[in-house]
A and B are shown apart, each in its own frame.
Chain A
Amino acid sequence: SQQGEEDPQALSIQEGENATMNCSYKTSINNLQWYRQNSGRGLVHLILIRSNEREKHSGRLRVTLDTSKKSSSLLITASRAADTASYFCATDAGGSRLTFGEGTQLTVNP
């Protein structure tokens, strides 16, 4: 069953603005990953944060993890129209089996 909840479900911003998406989960995890999916396509791995890490950066992406609150956030800075996609968090509790959140549909308007 899906354990992840993401908010917002949909987010619409202007180019250049920052986009923040949140993810909550219910069980203990080894790591949490964020993926991007363009409409009708497969998933692209964005970033992984381990359970003993609190923050991680990759280019314009910043991910935080709060294991005490069982939550994570993904920040995309200086957004571009090409960032328009669905973003999913996924938790790995062991064995590489991923449980996905419900996803956030991000629309970046030019």
Chain B
Amino acid sequence: GAVVSQHPSRVICKSGTSVKIECRSLDFQATTMFWYRQFPKQSLMLMATSNEGSKATYEQGVEKDKFLINHASLTLSTLTVTSAHPEDSSFYICSAPGPWAYEQYFGPGTRLTVT
């Protein structure tokens, strides 16, 4: 089946620094990828849609200048959390529509802790 990877799996950073999270589709091309955030014991909240070769589309209430998304190739999207604060600590998950209709493949997630 299609595989999506994320790197890193865990990251701890200091308040005010920036953190980059990578999402890769390993055996298929993805012109679109999705970024979700999940707080403890809560559901996934869609943050933005990453589009290869064009600007990302952000959901209402998500600061595009804080969460920078770059979809530079057909297999890689990156999410950069800029000037991170403790309230940005969360589980960030990406997904990509697979080569077959309707199914989506999720990465294993990245646990971000901002101290």
A residues adjacent to B (C-beta < 8 A)? 1-2, 4, 30-31, 33, 35, 40-45, 48, 50, 88, 92, 95-103, 105
Interface string of B4-34 (1 = CB under 8 A from A): 0010000000000000000000000000101
B residues adjacent to A (C-beta < 8 A)? 6, 32, 34, 36, 41-46, 49, 60, 91, 93, 95, 97, 102-109, 111
Check A2/B102 contact, CB under 8 A, given A40-B91, A96-B32.
no
A45, closest chain B residue (CB): B103
Measured between alpha carbons, how far is A30 from B49 in the docked complex, in Å?
18
Measured between alpha carbons, how far is A97 from B105 in the docked complex, in Å?
12
The residue from B32, B34, B93, B97 contacting A42, defined by CB atoms under 8 A apart: B93
Closest 10 CB pairs of A and B: A42-B108, A43-B106, A96-B97, A100-B44, A100-B43, A42-B106, A42-B109, A102-B43, A103-B43, A48-B102
Measured between alpha carbons, how far is A42 from B111 in the docked complex, in Å?
11
Measured between alpha carbons, how far is A99 from B64 in the docked complex, in Å?
20
The residue from B34, B60, B108, B111 contacting A98, defined by CB atoms under 8 A apart: B34
> Which A residues lie within 8 Å of B97 (CB)?
96
> Which A residues lie within 8 Å of B105 (CB)?
45
The answer to whether A41 touches B49, judged by C-beta atoms less than 8 angstroms apart, is: no
Chain B proximity of A38: nearest CB distance (Å): 10
8 further interface pairs, Cβ-Cβ under 8 Å (given A30-B102, A33-B102, A45-B106)? A2-B45, A40-B109, A43-B106, A45-B103, A98-B46, A99-B46, A100-B43, A102-B43
> Which B residues lie within 8 Å of A99 (CB)?
46
Chain A proximity of B107: nearest CB distance (Å): 6
The answer to whether A96 touches B104, judged by C-beta atoms less than 8 angstroms apart, is: yes
The answer to whether B44 touches A88, judged by C-beta atoms less than 8 angstroms apart, is: yes
